[in-house]
Chains A and B, each alone.
Chain A
Amino acid sequence: MSARDANESVKDASIQAAGRLGIAKTYKIYIDGKFPRTESGRYFEYAFKTGTGSANLCWSSRKDFRDAVTSARGAFAGWAKATAFNRGQILYRIAEMLESRRSQFIEELTWQGLSTLEAEKEVATSIDRLVYFAGWADKYQQVYSAVNPVSASYFNFSILEPTGVVSILAPEESALLGLVSVIAPVIAGGNTCVVLVSGEKPLSAVTFAEVLNSSDLPGGVVNILTGQRKELLAHMSTHMDVNALVYTGSNAEEIKTVQLNVATNVKRLILLKDWNRENPNLIQDTQEVKTTWHPIGI
């Protein structure tokens, strides 16, 4: 039985008539490689745009966010140290897992208001985008690194290193492609992240967490929260153990708020008006340049 059947089963007379009650999926959040409910016990109901069916999603709290940051911080050292090849492999694996669940995502996208054609395109583009960034994982370093010809007897080189834990406010308007587009460059570069997903279209993100969970991605590298942007914006932009904030959208008031808040610990702020792009600069946005000197001598 497909997820859709399960979800709609309560209201789908024909299935009930067949004597089979569907199993509806509980849409939970994803923290530290596990699927807890929000600690707050709060929920919001998401009514499917198809007219029938709904899901109760976690209305994540500040505490959930803080737990997610702890998890992301814990995962950072290992993920940053993973070989570039390994990170690329895992991103490719995510693409594979997504591909294998294409039909589920297409259906779920239609519940969130997309036509089947639009949904097919969104899923295909999302898979391809993951493959695109998987390929960059072991290449961007060579594009952006440098050996610096200092005028003394030293070997001096500059490389990129991930900036750390990244808060991501995922695009509101896109359930899957938006999510994939903001997560992929951040984790391809060895960062870990906490993502607040679209409030308008939150379903695919939870299902995408299931994909991540079956892709050899270490727990805590990506943490996914559903909830209200308005409520979590301040915490995501002020938390002292978050190194960077990726903001998507163009709400001037929100932008000013995050611009003010990032000063609490000199967070890097990446404002993405147009998130629907493919280029390695998106990886570079959450990277630091480290320069190392060593004498040349005996």
Chain B
Amino acid sequence: MPHQVRGDAGLLKRLEGAANRALSRAASRLISSLVARNREPPAPVQSLDFGESATFQTPDTPRPDLDAQPIVEEAPDSEESAAFQEPDTPRPDLDALSILKESPDHPVDQEEPVEDDNSLMHRLAAGGRLSPPGTTLCQRLIEENRGYQPDSVLEAAICEGKFSPEDLAKIATFLVSVYYEPDADTSANESMARWVFEGLAERGVVTQELVKLCVQAMADAPCVSLTNPVQQYLKKAGGMVEEYRAMVIAAFNPDNYSAYCRKQPAAEGKRLPPATWNEWEGRDAWSHAGSDWPLADLFLELDTGGEIDILLEQELPPGVPAEHTLQYFLLRRSWLDRRESPGSLRSLGRLLRSTAARPRWKPLHDRAVLVFRDHWSRGQWGRATAMAAQVYQGLLGLQPKVDPRNAPDWLPGMSRLHLAELQRARSEGPKAAAPSEPLLLPSNEALLRRFERLRADVDGQPDNPGAWHEMAGIYRELSLWDKAIIAEDLAIEYHPNFAGAYHGRGKAKMEIHDWADAVADFTAAIRLWEFPDGLEKFLTLEEPRDEYVDSYRTRGVARAHEGDHDAAIGDVSTAIRLRRHNARLYYERAYLEERAGRAEDARIDAYNAGRLYLDRGEKEDAAECVSLLDRLGAHDDADKLRILMAARKPSDLPE
């Protein structure tokens, strides 16, 4: 302990010199003895820092005035006093080692094993925990490795596979149990634990006692150093014990979890309540206390869907914060895992109900709302309820044939809204009922013959996409849209890059007013046709085929039906770029522009369309353009077209 000194500087200087000489002699003696034993010498004495306390305690020569009142605040202890009193002569009872011990930079050399060694190896050997050969091995290691840390020796022996599987299991058991001792140093022996448990997993060594202890450790011991090796061991080898599954499930209980949470340091600050939907749905809205519970990984690996549902529905424990309940933990996992099933959704709903009334469970209830909503939306349960309504409507349709007096049983949970819509649609009747028997013209007979031939082809060669596509074309000509779609489905299935089939299916979907799917099909067709050089190649090098141009045009029409007029006009414009003299495209664009409120653009296009029609002598179509121009208020342009129409040379056929 440093002492505060008051006195003259000369006296202090002499004291410092005397002390250094005395210590140098002691250090030299120690080094000589170590060299004699062939040991590594400690650091040179010169580098020792004796500090102020040493420098003033050894006076160079005795001074008469020392007998006077010493000028120190506290009296030195007895050993220091002794050194002080006989400064120049070496004292036999002053061991150099004891002096070195006082230096904080130099550990004490362990020359002799300590009798009451508390190391794992000593405890294993002394406690008779191992088999006789294992105990003998331990004792031999202790004797042969004097001077080394006993636990390092044990670790090396484990690593070298010197222990039998049985002893290894006993060491593991001992190792795990040691972690439960009140003063256990849980940071040590991590690598030893790793070697032990890896060795056990490799050799497939399991004992019921060990597995049980490990499972318990995972359930309630927050010791990071042991967790990983034990967890890995259980994952690899735990299943070899018959009761493993039951042990894990039993340990995965609310008491263990809340106990684990209590042991966790309160790292989280107070979380602010969410203020927006984004914050409410985000990660920060969750409490993460206890989220790293080691047992949970083992539990969830067991594929215990049913058990999770049971746990979610369990009664909530009194006196436990909502965030420390097992239900909260499972909700968080469920939110991350994105698994949903009828059972889990039902359990979530029951948890919601049980937490709705009491304010103390509000955090839990709030999270259950989030998870339920996510699962419901992601699983498309709403779509299923709509399907159920459709099925019920179908059953009602069967009722007259099956049992006219009794309506079919209600389907609980079906979408009432959807059912009402279906029933309204039914009462209003179909908008444009397709004829059940297609009306065929004489020219259709050839079509039918072709159909029969194709049908035979398809029967004999069902994986021919071309045949299916051709058949779809015939179905379209016969207005059998559903069958056309199915045939194109097959063509696409056997040839996924068949652009023509996507176009054909899109055309059929247009007829049944399935605008969104039609847009998707035309987009797929365009993408395939334009691969790899895009639209440009058709504007420069290559003559675009009719189906390709029509894909743009009809996609535009579908988008117009969906209300997206700008996109629709864009598509028709592209079609015009590909077919610059197509009067119909100009007229259609004018029509769409009129609907979009772009009167000036509409006027220009309608006028151009009229001129192109007249150029081909199509007066009826040109007259439509004139009407459109009149509607737009562009009477001058309408009159110009009228003049052009009148100026055409009349037919020379006799009247």
A and B form one complex: no
Seen from chain A, the residues whose Cβ lies within 8 Å of a Cβ on chain B are none
